[in-house]
Amino acid sequence: MRKSISARSCPNSQETVGGFCYLAFQLLLLPTLLTMLNGHLSTPLREAELNFVFYLINFIAVLLIFHDFLAGAANQAVRHPAYLCQAVILGLAAYYACLLVTNRVIGLLVPGFSNYNDSAIALMGQDSRLLVIIGTVLLVPPVEECFFRGLIFRNLYGKSHWAAYLVSMLAFAFIHILGYAGRYTPLEILMAVLQYLPAGLCLAWSYTKADTIFAPIIIHAIVNFITLTSWR
C-alpha cells in the first residue's frame, strides 16, 4: 500500500494558483452573484435549482482548471486499480466506524443535535430529488476533493503531514457549516465541526494510500449517495 503522494498525482503550479483563486471566488462572490442574477429573472429558480447551478458552475470550473491533474489521476487509477480499490474499501470502512463513534459522542453532549446543512439538502431533495442526487453525488465530490485534498491537503503534506490533515479537515468542516453558523450555539458549532472530521480524515488518508484523487472522489460520492437515499 502506498504511503505518500507522488508528484504526478498533484496539481501543477498553474493549477494550484488557478485553484486557490477560484476557491476564493467561489466562497466570497459566486453565491452572491447567483442570488442577484436569479432575482432579476422573470421566473426565479427554486432553491434546489439555484443550488444545482452553483454545483454545475463549480464542476465545470474544476474540469477546466484541473484538467491535467485529473487526467494524471485517472491514468494512475487505471494503472494501479488494486491501490484504488483498497483505498476506497478501507476508507469507507474507516469513515463509517469513525462516524459511529462521533455521532454517539455528539448524542451524549448535545441530545437531538441537528445538522443544518443536511437538513437544507434534505428539504431541497423533497423539491427536486433528481437534481439534488446529481449535484451531490456527481458534481460535488470532484469539486470538493480537488480543493480540499488536491489543493489544501497536498500543498501542506510535503511540509507537515499533521498540518495537512488538520488544516484540510477543519477547512472541509467549516465550509459545510459556514452558511449556518448564526443558527448554531457555540457548542453546536463544535459538534457540527466534529461531525465532519471523520470524512476529512478518511478522504485525505485514501488520497495518500491510492496515490490518486479519484479514491476520495469515489468515497465521497458513495457516502453522499448512501446518505441521500437513506433520507425519507
Distance of CA 101 to the CA centre of its chain: 21
- Return per-residue pLDDT of the chain as tens, 232 residues: 445 667 667 899 999 999 999 999 999 999 999 999 999 999 999 999 999 999 999 999 999 999 999 999 999 999 999 999 999 999 999 999 999 999 999 999 999 998 889 888 988 888 899 999 999 999 999 999 999 999 999 999 989 999 999 999 999 999 999 888 788 889 999 999 999 999 999 999 999 999 999 999 999 999 999 999 886 6
3-state secondary structure the chain: CCCCCCHHHCCCHHHHHHHHHHHHHHHHCHHHHHHHHHHCCCCCCCHHHHHHHHHHHHHHHHHHHCHHHHHHHHHHHHHCHHHHHHHHHHHHHHHHHHHHHHHHHHHHHCCCCCCHHHHHHHHHHHHCHHHHHHHHHHHHHHHHHHHHHHHHHHHHHCCCHHHHHHHHHHHHHHHHHHHHHHHCCHHHHHHHHHHHHHHHHHHHHHHHHHCCCHHHHHHHHHHHHHHHHHCC
Q: What's the pLDDT score for residue 1?
A: 42
Q: What's the pLDDT score for residue 7?
A: 62
